[in-house]
Structure 1
């Protein structure tokens, strides 16, 4: 039987951020997220094609950031403790330099207590769209300034901004803009057609 939704372990007891970090380390190499209600979500590895596309997205973000030096880029295995109590791992993320550097190094070594300024989620063939949309809403509700939910299955992109309706770009021949969050950053969606 093929499951097309995430496996959720209902919380039995509330874990502190440190306890959840220790739980994740003790169960390495499995990957987990935690929603705002304390439920633990098992995150599966991506398929190879999705991994190729994720590294393309992350590589473009990293290259832009290396040139502009305005912040820090993070990969899909990075967990962030959001203000609402959730611990989430986007496929790619970016944080303004001043915000990241204000976090004590000890906290940077764990799941940093911060919501990224920019996040990307790339929907793989087996990902549940509603689950990813809810995750993107959670980032937005926790003050993420720009988010892209790239849906290769439906060939569109949902763009999340604070206090605005979600914008949907219907063409996979488009260039996405980092807007004022990532000045000068653009991403050509055709790079994901490999």
Structure 2
């Protein structure tokens, strides 16, 4: 495979099937994350402990609520999605509602989910910030992800975007207080909870 000079994005274009095969050929010692965006393989190095801690905190809090209310399933960054657009993404935290999960194709263990999640949460890091705020945001909107959160650890802000006609509006930012979600309106999670280390 020929990589671009940045070593983060392939020059060659791949299908989802080719991407799966390519991932299968990687050595087990490879700790990087790979996604397929607009047919190009994009490599993301490990983000660091702050990123992981925030993702875990959000996932646990939302996961407890979702499980108690039997609303669906919450996934961490190890779950990837083969989206209808041909992109394959691994959000930091994602939620699939029971209704959406039931209407999708049968799932194969240890494979990507072939659906769009209901809610996606991406945590910004220096290597992903631009992509999360532009390219991936557009991909999630095109594929019908109802709600998209961008978590900015540097600014300590969570911005929530809602889908309207395959586009996200301006979004609402939370620096303090309870984060308001339309997808999970009863979840009790504050900006302070997200960023407390």
CA–CA distance in structure 1, aligned partners of residues 152 and 88 of structure 2: 23
Q: State the TM-score, normalized to the length of structure 2.
A: 0.83
Task: Please list, as runs of the form range in 1=range in 2, the aligned pairs for 1:15-164 lying within 5 A after superposition.
Answer: 15=15, 17-27=16-26, 28=28, 29=30, 30-36=32-38, 38-101=39-102, 102-106=104-108, 109-124=110-125, 126-134=126-134, 135-163=136-164, 164=168
Q: Structure 2: where are the runs of 5+ without partners?
A: 1-5
Cα distance 1:83–1:185, how it changes in 2: closer, same or farther (>3 A)?
same
CA–CA distance in structure 2, aligned partners of residues 158 and 149 of structure 1: 5
CA–CA distance in structure 2, aligned partners of residues 121 and 32 of structure 1: 15
Structure 1 residue aligned with 2:181: 178
3-state SS of 2:84 partner: coil
CA–CA distance in structure 1, aligned partners of residues 169 and 118 of structure 2: 18
3-state SS of 2:151 partner: strand
User: Runs of 4 or more off by more than 4 Å in structure 1?
Assistant: none
Deviations 1:173-194 (A, max 9, x none): 1211222x22411321112131
Q: State the TM-score, normalized to the length of structure 1.
A: 0.85
